[in-house]
Amino acid sequence: MNSDWVAATVRSRSMARRRAGSGLIDRVARSGSLSAGLDLLRETGYGPRLASADTLLAAQRATRDSVLWEVRVLAGWVPPGGTALLRAVAAAYEADNIIQLARRLAQGSAPSPAPMSRTGTDGRGEAAPFELGSLATAWPRISVADSPAELADLLRRSPWGDPGPDLPAVLTAVRLRRLAAAAPEAADSTARAAALLAARVRLVGGTPPAARLVSLLRPLLGVGWTEARSLAELRAALPARLQPLLADLSTPADLWRAESTLPVLEEAKGFRLLRSGVPGPEVVFGAVEVLTADAWRLRAALAAAAGETGSSEVLNAVA
């Protein structure tokens, strides 16, 4: 038994038990209104952060804040060597912060110093940065950038590296590489996410991928995908184990269907890891995977409730 991980394992399993779960999420989707859907979630782990949400965007943001908070709490339970795993998980939120900052600066708007409200917005009503605490990689330094040029310079001198011409794609590739290195059990999931990133860059963006992006994705995908001109060509260029991911798609417009399967696959793997009898980082990562997938489903259900449709095309696609 890995005794250093016992407390974190207990906490992880407790965290996973407080998820909404597929049954309740289905009830939320069919509740008929956003307020009715939110009422159903009061006793779940999302309850505290959903309490003041009064719009769909605020409620969906609150689900992500809830997951990030649990990850930050877990950081206080893992042994010192486990922090790298949770920092790699939190990198997804830091990447979103950086992308949002880049958009503001490109529009000539300075970063807002206002703290985040309970609804996840800043003083101007815009989405506030995620609060990363000790799990930040470089955000405290990067967040002070006041121009696109300064942001690019700060990124180059950080672990994120040169952002190049396609900032979102590069940040995604960097965090996938970091997660794959920190969590061996994430190897398949990071490769699948990388394959869909490559498909979007090559087939939806329609431009040759930047050299750094190709370099970042090479260990996960190889380089054959860079010359693909169609889904069929891209599928054939991927490693054999990843080709089924694109097997049932007709056009690049269908990529969302493949992207919708990823949380489901991660959830199933997360449950397998949670059932592991030996305390360790695998159980902690499993809990994160389960809650992340649960929050993803819940965001789709909240959208269905707010639209008073009682159903979600995304949830139906993975049912």
What are the structure tokens assigned to 231, written together?
């889904």
d(CA 113, CA 315): 37
Q: Does position 218 have pLDDT exceeding 80, yes or no?
A: yes
What are the structure tokens assigned to 157, written together?
């001198």
Q: Could you give the percent of the chain with pLDDT greater than 90?
A: 82
Q: What is the mean pLDDT of residues 135-140?
A: 96
Q: How confident is the model over 4-24, as pLDDT tens digits? A: 899 999 999 999 999 999 999
d(CA 163, CA 138): 14
Query: Residue 285's closest CA among 188, 214, 216, 211?
Result: 188
What's the pLDDT at 206?
Answer: 80
What's the pLDDT at 318?
Answer: 54
Give the range of the structural domain holding residue 89, as residue numbers without chain letter.
Answer: 3-318
pTM: 0.91
Q: How confident is the model over 93-128, as pLDDT tens digits? A: 999 999 999 999 999 876 655 455 454 555 555 789
pLDDT confidence bin for 307, thresholds 50/70/90? confident
pLDDT confidence bin for 3, thresholds 50/70/90? confident
Q: How confident is the model over 40-61, as pLDDT tens digits? A: 999 999 999 999 899 999 999 9
Q: How confident is the model over 236-261, as pLDDT tens digits? A: 999 999 999 999 898 999 999 999 99
What's the pLDDT at 248?
Answer: 86
Q: What is the mean pLDDT of residues 62-88?
A: 95
Distances (CA, A) of 252 to 27, 171, 206, 228, 246: 32, 22, 11, 12, 10
What's the pLDDT at 127?
Answer: 80
Note whether 142 and 98 are within 8 A (CB).
Answer: yes
Q: How confident is the model over 187-212, as pLDDT tens digits? A: 999 999 999 999 999 999 888 899 99
Number of domains in the chain: 1
Distances (CA, A) of 279 to 4, 25, 255, 266, 276: 8, 29, 37, 20, 7
